[in-house]
Amino acid sequence: MNCSSIPDYTHTLDLVAALGGIPSAFFFLFPTDYPVKYQSTKLQSNEQQEEKRGQSDFSYYGLYLMDYLRTNKFEQATDTAFIRERADRAAETYEKARIEGYPTDGAQELAMETLLRGLHYSRYAMLHEVVENEFANEVPEEKQEAFIHKLLPLVGNVFSVYDLSDDNFALSSDYDLLYTELTGATVLYLDEYGV
């Protein structure tokens, strides 16, 4: 048997190992010709099908980033082009690091750094931190989410002078200033409108 005709899946297997093993990741190695038809797909509009297809064909990094952006309520959470571009860069970083001899954990760390660069602090997360830490007695936990969603658009201008994309923002004096300004804005809102 000629071994040169066997495809080299080394990098793919490294990625699967780094991600803790994903059995479904191997299905692309064994293509099937089984026709799969779903009744509900026929009833959906082309736009809905395209949107679902766009989200379902994300890589591991794309799915991770999409979940991260949605959880932390970043503005880019629905920007599929942004997510795809970042995910591709992260995968390329991982592959390059493995080629350069990094262990899987080190390559994964570099890839995640590339994936999340500039996305450590969302407006929502900052305001959530302030409300949770400073106003736990005034805003009950079960009402915090709704309160933050109500308050966030009103304090948007407070964020405008700060660079939340700086990965070291939490270590800067600007972080403390923003935290203080958000605390003050929340106090004023509670005094005026309550929870």
Q: What does the block give as tokens for 74?
A: 């970043």
**pLDDT at residue number 24:** 42
Q: How confident is the model at residue 56 (pLDDT cuts 50, 70, 90)?
A: low
Q: What does the block give as tokens for 45?
A: 């509009």
Name the phi and psi angles at 136, rounded to 5. -60, -35
Question: Best-predicted range by mean pLDDT among 7-16, 74-83, 118-127?
Answer: 74-83
Mark 62-90 as b/e (b = at least 16 C-beta within 10 Å): bebbbebbeebbbebbeeeebbbebbeeb
Residue 20 φ/ψ region, left for φ over 0, alpha for ψ in the -120 to 50 degree band, beta for the rest: left
Question: Average pLDDT for residues 117-141, to the nearest whole number?
Answer: 88
Q: Distance between CA 91 and CA 110 in Å, rounded? A: 10
Q: Distance between CA 186 and CA 130 in Å, rounded? A: 9
Q: How confident is the model at residue 57 (pLDDT cuts 50, 70, 90)?
A: low
pTM here? 0.59
| 158-166 long-range Cβ contacts below 8 angstroms, 24+ apart | 158/182, 158/185, 159/123, 159/126, 164/121, 164/122, 164/123, 164/126, 165/118, 165/119, 165/121, 166/118
Eight-state DSSP code of residue 79: -
Tens-place pLDDT, residues 91-113:
999 999 999 999 999 999 999 99
Tens-place pLDDT, residues 136-179:
889 888 888 899 989 988 888 888 888 888 878 888 889 999 99
